Amino acid sequence: MEIKLEKFNIQDFHYYFQLVSNTEVMAMITERAIPLDEAEHNFQQLIVNNQLCENFGNFKILDADTNEFIGLAKLEIKEIDADELELGYMLLPNYWGRGIANRVSELLLNISRKENSINQIFAIIDPKNLASRKILTRQGFKHKAFKDYDGLAGEILELKN
């Protein structure tokens, strides 16, 4: 299956909510499904962030042939002149185990390498998420630290760009 990435736009909330309201998807992210009002707020912030830079932000992962929604990919900066960005992805469960997350991370890293201003890329995962850890370390990410995120365990992996 070929995939493509397209930036989320204001009309795409239903795709976003399909992911964040899914307890399986969120099990290793927030350990809970996100309720509608919180998801709407988070999506508005995502849309604002998408306007910081043309090449960075949050993207829909789509089947290149059918345009079927697969998940979310992010290559996110926090401010316009940032020199680091966060890489992340979420897939709907029926797409797990098919090599899509690996292809998504490769696509995102290719995008980031075209930007000379980015010195560092980081990813935050649940330490129990061995599949994501394997994907990221295969791409060259190294363990940086364990950190608590609002009571949830997180592992930060980083890659020098």
* Domains in the chain with CATH codes: 3-160 (3.40.630.30)
**Residue 3 to residues 43, 65, 90, 99, 105, Cα–Cα distance (Å):** 23, 8, 14, 11, 12
- Looking at residue 14, its pLDDT comes to 98
- Looking at residue 144, its pLDDT comes to 95
List the Cα angle 9/149/105 in 5-degree steps: 50
State both tokens at 53: 């830079």
Q: pTM of the prediction? A: 0.94
- Looking at residue 114, its pLDDT comes to 86
- Looking at residue 38, its pLDDT comes to 98
**Residue 96 to residues 71, 80, 93, 101, 132, Cα–Cα distance (Å):** 10, 33, 5, 8, 11
- Looking at residue 71, its pLDDT comes to 98
Residues contacting 36, CB < 8 A, separation 6+: 17, 21
- In which residue are the tokens 């290559």 written? 75
Residues of the chain with pLDDT under 50: none
